Amino acid sequence: MSMEFDQLLPKIINDNTLHARWLNTLSLMENTGARKISACEDPETVTYIILKHAAEEHRHAFYLKKQIEKTGAACPTYSSDYLLAPASSRHYLNQLDVDVCRYLKNELGLKGKELRFAAYLLVTYAIEVRADELYPVYQEALDKALSKINVKSIILEEEGHLEEMINQLKTFSPDWQLHADKAVEMESRLFHQWISQLATALN
Ligand SMILES: [Fe+2]
Ligand SMILES: [Fe+2]
């Protein structure tokens, strides 16, 4: 995924305070994602799959928060003191949403409900692609360090999410892959920004 990221992980895992803040930062991002999904729900037409997805993302936020106990350090809230690279971590998802909405407005002329739903599909797709890379790399680093913390239950659910997003995207547009690739491109730029802010914070 990124050399830089691979090098950051052992550094984080070997330091309980950093590790607690890392878990809390991931928890914040999962919670932001969960709240975004909930915010996109149409009160009338929301489906089983969207409810399931929102519930699982909320669970990820909670589960990561719970893992913090095993570090012995405390991160009671999402205030910046308890996060790694707080500005960039908060910015990542919000900016991705802004970028994707701009693309959908300009390229597809979407607005209102349709725009909201299409943005949910593309933003979530890009995040799921990232989650499917990030959590296994993190789990591998945890295994190597013989850590008591594990994210295997998250990995399982994230794999399901990517499939679900692809199924939903297929019904959204025959050109879904083209739009999805654009979203992934936007996400990559923001992800690398986030990693470089993390690296700076750890130095
Ligand atoms: Fe998640
Ligand atoms: Fe997910």
Residue percentage of the chain with pLDDT more than 70? 99
pLDDT tier at 42, thresholds 50, 70, 90: confident
Q: Measured between alpha carbons, how far is residue 153 from residues 31, 58, 135, 160 in Å?
A: 16, 13, 10, 11
Residue 118: its pLDDT value, please? Answer: 95
**What is the identity of the amino acid at 187?**
E
Gap from CA of 155 to ligand 2 centroid (Å): 9
The pTM score is 0.95
What is the Å distance from ligand 2's center to 199 Cα?
Answer: 25
User: What does the pLDDT average to over 159-167?
Assistant: 94
Average the pLDDT over each of 55-59, 67-71, 113-117, 189-193 and give the range with the smallest value.
113-117
User: 15 CA distance to ligand 2 centroid (A)?
Assistant: 27
Residue 10 clears pLDDT 70, i.e. is over it: yes
Backbone φ, ψ for residue 56 (5° rounding): -70, -40
* φ/ψ (deg, to 5) at 43: -60, -20
Q: In this structure, which ligand is nearest to the CA of 32?
A: 1
**Is the pLDDT confidence value at 76 over 70?**
yes
Tell me, in angstroms, the distance from the centre of ligand 1 to residue 162's CA. Answer: 10
pLDDT for res 176 = 96
Ligand 2 midpoint to CA 128 (Å): 5
Whether the predicted pLDDT of 3 surpasses 80: no
What type of residue is 183? A
Ligand 1 centre to CA of 55 (Å) is 10
Alpha helices in 41-85 (DSSP H): 48-67
Interval between CA 145 and ligand 2 midpoint (Å): 25
Structure tokens at 69: 């106990």
Report CA(203)–ligand 2 centroid distance (Å). Answer: 30
Q: Residue 4: pLDDT above 90? A: no
Q: pLDDT > 90: what percent of the chain?
A: 93
- Above 70 in pLDDT, residue 129? yes
The pLDDT assigned to 125 comes to 97
Distances (CA, A) of 69 to 4, 5, 66, 149, 177: 27, 24, 6, 9, 41
Cα–Cα distance, 39 to 43 (Å, whole number):
10
A 10 A CB-CB count for 108 gives 14
What pLDDT, on the 0 to 100 scale, is given for residue 2?
72
Would the CA dihedral through 57, 61, 66, 68 be positive or negative?
Answer: positive
Please choose, from the candidates 27, 15, 8, 21, the residue with its C-alpha nearest in 3D space to the C-alpha of residue 138: 8
